A and B are shown apart, each in its own frame.
Chain A
Amino acid sequence: MNKSWVYVGLTCLFELFWVYGFNVASSWWHWVIIVGIILVDFHFLSKACEKLPTGTVYAVFAAVGTAGTALMDVVLFAADFHLQKGLFIVLIIIGVVSLKLADNQDEGEVG
């Protein structure tokens, strides 16, 4: 169970690496590295889904990717930060935490 969440963390981290790559790639061999990172990322994604519900893993993957990309744009690529962005990021975090709690509760009920 905990090991699977390590895979969730890794797949989210590698997702941010390739999104960063998309932003900075400027020659063909950069894209070779990016494709490699995507394949490693997909490997972690599938490992995470072996023990956790795929719906949960995928929702967290999409959530962290979206919030992380928005923050990356602000911190590294000088995008504007405004209140609406911050509020939606907080909403995403609330959703992820509550999804994890809901799954834990479910596991408790089953066994």
Chain B
Amino acid sequence: MGWLLVFLAAVSEIIGVVGLKMYSTQKKNAVNTLLFVGGFGCAFALLYASFQFLQLSIAYAVWIGMGTAGGVLVNMIFFGESRNMGRIISVVIIVAGVTGLKAVSV
């Protein structure tokens, strides 16, 4: 149950990032605002719910790793953002850093 909530929280976060992209570069309409604010809102609610089942630092580490990597990948795949090797390596370093830091923080 805990892991399902973390997974859904990461998916919501990626939806929020898609909303962020569309809200800031396309139209500031109701749908994009809802994806942006609603996506991040649901992400936090689901993550918070997962703390009932999992240790906070572990749940947070997995969520932020999946969400950050997913957010960048979605923008590369669906919105044509640059896929140069430097960007990909940098994002891998950031994901390793944020996940590791959350994992060792109690």
Contact = CB atoms under 8 A, between A and B. Distances in A.
Interface of A: 42, 45-50, 53-56, 58-59, 62-63, 66-67, 70, 73, 79, 82, 84-85, 88-89, 91-92, 94-96, 98-99, 101-103, 105-106
Prevailing SS type, chain A contact patch: helix
B7 interface: no
Interface string B35-54: 01100100000000000000
A22 B67 CA distance: 21
Contacts, number: 132
A98 B25 contact: no
B82 A88 contact: no
Contacts of B87: 55-56, 99, 102-103, 106
Interface residues of B, number: 38
Interface of B: 17, 20-21, 23-25, 36-37, 40, 64, 67-68, 71-73, 75-76, 79, 81-82, 84, 86-87, 89-98, 100-102, 104-105
A45 B37 CA distance: 11
A92 B101 contact: yes
A63 B21 CA distance: 18
A54 B97 contact: no
Contacts of B94: 59, 62-63, 92, 95-96, 99
B71 to A, nearest CB: 5
